[in-house]
Amino acid sequence: MPATRICVLCLVDGKQDKKRDGLAEGGTVASSAAVLEKPRCRVGTTLGLVEEAETGPNQTGPTDGRAGLEEEGKHASFRYPQGSCLEQNNHRIWLPKLGWVRYRNSREALGAVKNVTVRLAGGRWLVSIQAECEVEVPVHRSTTAVGIDMGVVRLATLSDGTFYGPRNSFRQHQAGLRKAQQSMGRKKIMKFSQNRKRAKARLACLHIRIANARRDHLHKASTAISKSHAMVCVEDLRVSNLSSSAAGSRQSPGSKVRAKSGLNRSILDQGGAELRRQLEYKPAWNGGRLIAVPAINTSRTCPACGCTGQGNRKTQAGFCCVECGYEAKADLVAAINLGRAGLARIACEVNDGVSRQQQEPTSVAA
C-alpha cells in the first residue's frame, strides 16, 4: 500500500561576495533576501532543515511586540510556501522576488515541491526543498536485530561486534577555536570594524566545519546501521541528562566539576543525540524499526549466565563476570543485552496481540 512521505532534500548555496555586499554575517530576513538577488553563486549542499522547518518565517521577529534589535545573523532564514519553481536539469531555482538563482545540487528532489527554505550558514546560502511523493512501504532486506551501545571511547558498539569510532571533531579543532575566539575577543572595542567582522567570520567557519565533520560521520554510521539491520535497539537515555553539569549550587557545590565538564564535552562531541534522532527515521525508510529499551543494568548483566552486579565491572572498559568468568568489553556486553531486551519487548508485543485475539471469541461465546 502506498504511503506518503515527505522528504526534506537538498540544497544549495551561494557563497556571497563579502567584500561587495557588506552583509557577510547575516542580517534580517529582508536584507538576507536582498543578498541573494545577485546570485554570484557557488552552490553547496546539505541535508535536512527539519528542525528549522518547525519555525516559520513569521516567528523570526521579537514576540513581545517590541521592535528590538536582533542579534546579527540569528534568524537568517526565510521560507517560500509557494511560488518557487525548480529546474534540476539546469541547476537553478526560481524564488519569488529574486528570480532564477543557480545552485549546486546535492541530490535529486523527487516528487512535487511543497516549500522552499533559504538560510544563511557560515557565509553560505543553503536552500532546503521539501518535496512530497508516494512511496511503497518498504520491506527490509535484512532480518537481523542489533543492539547498540553509544559511548565516548567508541561512538557506537553493535552487538555483532562491529563498532564505529569517535570523530572528536570538536577536540580536533579546539586549539584553533581558542585562537579564533581570543582573536575576536581582542577586537571587542571596535565593534563594527572590518577586522572584527573578519575574525567573527573565521570563528563561524570553524564552528561550521566542526559541525559538518560530525554530521557527516553520524550520517555514514546511521545509514550503514539502518541498511544492515531490520531492528535496531538502543538505550532509552537522554543525552542532556547524561551531560548535566556537576557544578551544583552555591550552597551545595558539586565535586569533580572540572573532570565532569571534560567528560560532558566528550559526550556532546560524539553527537549521540543526533545519532539517535537519525536512527529514529532511517530504519523506517528501509522498512526497519527502532526500539528504545530501559538502560538499567545493561552493562552490569552477564550475557552468558545472567548474573547482575556491580562486581562484574571492575574497570570502566572491561567486563568480567564474578559467577562464570565471562570476559568481554563492557560496551559490547551492553550492546548484546540491549539487543536481547529489544527482542524481548517485541516478543511481549506479539504475545499481547495473540492473547487479545484469543480473548475476543471467548467473550463473544460467553
Q: At what angle do helices 194-228 and 272-285 cross, to 10 degrees?
A: 50
By CB under 5 A, which span of 1-9, 132-140, 299-307, 355-363 interacts with Zn ion? 299-307
By CB under 5 A, which span of 25-33, 137-145, 162-170, 295-303 interacts with Zn ion? 295-303
Across the strands, what pairs with 92? Answer: 87, 102
72 is catalytic: no
Nearest distance in Å: CB 322, Zn ion: 8
Residue of the chain from 305, 348, 350, 354 that contacts Zn ion (CB under 5 A):
305
Neighbours of 274 (CB within 10 A): 16
Across the strands, what pairs with 9? Answer: 129
Judge contact between 321 and 304, C-beta under 8 A: yes
Q: Which residue type, as a one-letter code, is found at position 78? A: F
How many residues in the chain? 366
Q: Which of 149, 216, 274, 349 is catalytic?
A: 149
By CB under 5 A, which span of 33-41, 65-73, 125-133, 307-315 interacts with Zn ion? 307-315
**Residue 221 engages Zn ion in binding (rule: CB under 5 A):** no
Residue with cell 558539586: 254
Write the CB contacts of 48 (distance below 8 Å, at least 6 apart in sequence).
8, 128
134 is catalytic: no
Distance separating alpha carbons of residues 179 and 243, to the nearest angstrom: 26
**Residue 326 engages Zn ion in binding (rule: CB under 5 A):** yes
Judge contact between 158 and 337, C-beta under 8 A: no
DSSP secondary-structure letter at 220?
H
By CB under 5 A, which span of 33-41, 75-83, 244-252, 325-333 interacts with Zn ion? 325-333
21 is catalytic: no
Nearest distance in Å: CB 313, Zn ion: 13
**Residue 296 engages Zn ion in binding (rule: CB under 5 A):** no
Nearest distance in Å: CB 306, Zn ion: 7
Give me the phi and psi of 261, to 5 degrees please.
-65, -40
The sheet carrying 99-102 orders its strands as 85-87, 92-95, 99-102
**Residue 304 engages Zn ion in binding (rule: CB under 5 A):** yes
Residue of the chain from 52, 72, 274, 323 that contacts Zn ion (CB under 5 A):
323
Nearest distance in Å: CB 46, Zn ion: 47
Residue of the chain from 146, 225, 302, 335 that contacts Zn ion (CB under 5 A):
302
Alpha-carbon separation of residue 46 from 36, 43, 56 (angstroms): 18, 10, 20
Counting residues that bind Zn ion (by CB under 5 A) gives: 8
- Cell numbers of 60, please? 523570526
Nearest residue (CB) to Zn ion, 272 versus 339: 339
Nearest distance in Å: CB 274, Zn ion: 35
Binding site for Zn ion (CB under 5 A): 302, 304-305, 307, 321, 323-324, 326
Residues with a known catalytic role: 149, 235, 331
